[in-house]
Each structure stands twice: as C-alpha cells, then as structure tokens.
Amino acid sequence: MKKIITLVTLLFGVVFSINAQDGQTSKVISLEQTPGEFTQKGITVSAGTYVFAVHNNEVGHDVGFVLVEKGRDVSKPENHIQTAYVTKAVANGKTQHSKPTVLQAGEYIYFCPLNPTAIDNVLVVK
C-alpha cells in the first residue's frame, strides 16, 4: 500500500510539473509493465495532448514504450510516434515520461520492444 501511495504522489507531482513547464494542458496516460506485458491491454481517451507515464513493475530489466497508428508497420521506426517515446529507458521500480503527444481520433498500437510485450495493445482516441 505504501508503494502505491508513493507512486500516486510521484505521478501527481510530475504531472503538475509537466503541465507547468510545457505551457499547455497535457493529460497523463499511465501504463504499467510487468514481465512480458502491459497491465492495461486497451485504453480509450478523447482527442488531445497526452504524456505517457510508463512504470516498470519489477520486469527485471529496462523497459520502453512505442506508439504506432494502427495499420502501419510497427517494425519501421519512421512509423513510431516519436514524442510518445519515454525520455530514457525505464529501470526496475521507476517511472519515466514521454514528451507531450498530440493524439487525434483513431486507433493506435502500443508495445515495448525491450520487455517484449504483445503488439495487440490498443489505444482508441475518440
């Protein structure tokens, strides 16, 4: 319980900091990785600007985050939405954030090539 409270407090503080620094309102999409998977398999949000907060829940090694529009080849880095990358690899027990990322209506696939996770996690933007 203490870890959860600490994580929530940390995320709140970082979200406030990000919003104050980028001069725009960025909502946060929090994602947690465990060995081989994201705990959130599908997410639905409204269009807007988001920061991705990726937490490594003791995967055993660094993790990352990749976001791609659904239907594009995920193996090609030029198809990755690069602002959604976390600013550095996420170590065990840590959380890292992406840059603010504008999401327009549509479907996106997210995965971690370092974990590795399935390529069937879907982010729906309405």
Question: According to the model, what pLDDT value does residue 14 have?
Answer: 42
Backbone dihedral angles phi then psi of residue 28, each to the nearest 5 degrees = -110, 135
Domain count, the chain: 1
Question: According to the model, what pLDDT value does residue 16 have?
Answer: 42
pTM for the whole thing?
A: 0.80
At 125, list the tokens.
């933007």
CATH of the domain at 15: 2.60.40.420
DSSP 3-state of 107: strand
CA 21/CA 60 separation, integer angstroms: 32
Question: According to the model, what pLDDT value does residue 25 have?
Answer: 77
pLDDT tens for each residue of the chain, 126 residues long: 555 444 444 444 444 444 444 456 789 999 999 999 999 999 999 999 999 999 999 999 999 999 999 999 999 999 999 999 999 999 999 999 999 999 999 999 999 999 989 999 999 999
Question: According to the model, what pLDDT value does residue 11 have?
Answer: 42
Helix (H) or strand (E) segment spanning residue 2: helix 2-22
The string of DSSP codes covering 3-66 is HHHHHHHHHHHHHHHHHHHHSS--EEEEEEEETTEES--EEEE-SEEEEEEEEE-S-SS-B--E
Instruction: Show the domain range for 108.
Output: 2-125
